[in-house]
A and B are shown apart, each in its own frame.
Chain A
Amino acid sequence: RKEVEQDPGPFNVPEGATVAFNCTYSNSASQSFFWYRQDCRKEPKLLMSVYSSGNEDGRFTAQLNRASQYISLLIRDSKLSDSATYLCVVNRDPEDGGSQGNLIFGKGTKLSVKP
């Protein structure tokens, strides 16, 4: 099982649509979870951290299910500017041989929002 798996996409949606991305992770000891977005030929930018209680930032809602080792990102009322690749990111447990702060990136899900 890959350490972080995401829907491969691409997701092609019209403006105003609601879209959901899913992600599963293999290391039950992981403690930190994030969603990053990466525009074409740019660096990843932190979109939001994901907390156990779930969190919302405007049109974006992230949820974490530790029992299922599952993370989701919901985007409501999609905008053209939301078009990007969305990366699910999990930290590696340092006791698993990873260095402190070692982040494991999923391969990303590409979103294309059309007019």
Chain B
Amino acid sequence: SAVISQKPSRDICQRGTSLTIQCQVDSQVTMMFWYRQQPGQSLTLIATANQGSEATYESGFVIDKFPISRPNLTFSTLTVSNMSPEDSSIYLCSVQQSRTSEQYFGPGTRLTVT
């Protein structure tokens, strides 16, 4: 499976600021996704990061709040904009090589908003 890294691994941010999370994969992958895991909860898909076009967002998530870039097949960023304490969560990227294969996750970014 691909090796996935995320930066930063954790951060503490002030309300109203924005944070950009990077996801780097060591090989080209077909699909990349961004998930959120709130404390004590399971994972929820935020969006699919599409290479060369706008991301596809799930219900409840919007581009203004979570802008996503995917400039190539090995890299993506997720920005959490105008943060509030409710955005405190773990943000994870995942990759999938083909339509029917499994997803593999990065180590996650633990975000705390004060």
Contacts and interface: CB of A to CB of B under 8 A. Distances in A.
Interface residues of A, number: 22
A73 interface: no
Contacts of B58: 98-99, 102
Interface string B103-114: 111111010000
B31 A44 contact: no
B48 A100 contact: yes
B103 to A, nearest CB: 6
A82 B31 CA distance: 30
Contact of A103 (B41, B56, B103, B110): B103
Interface of B: 1, 31, 33, 41-45, 47-48, 56, 58-59, 92, 96, 99-100, 102-108, 110
Interface of A: 31-32, 34, 41-46, 49, 87, 97-103, 105-108
Given A43-B92, A101-B99, A107-B42, 4 more contacts: A44-B105, A46-B104, A99-B58, A101-B96
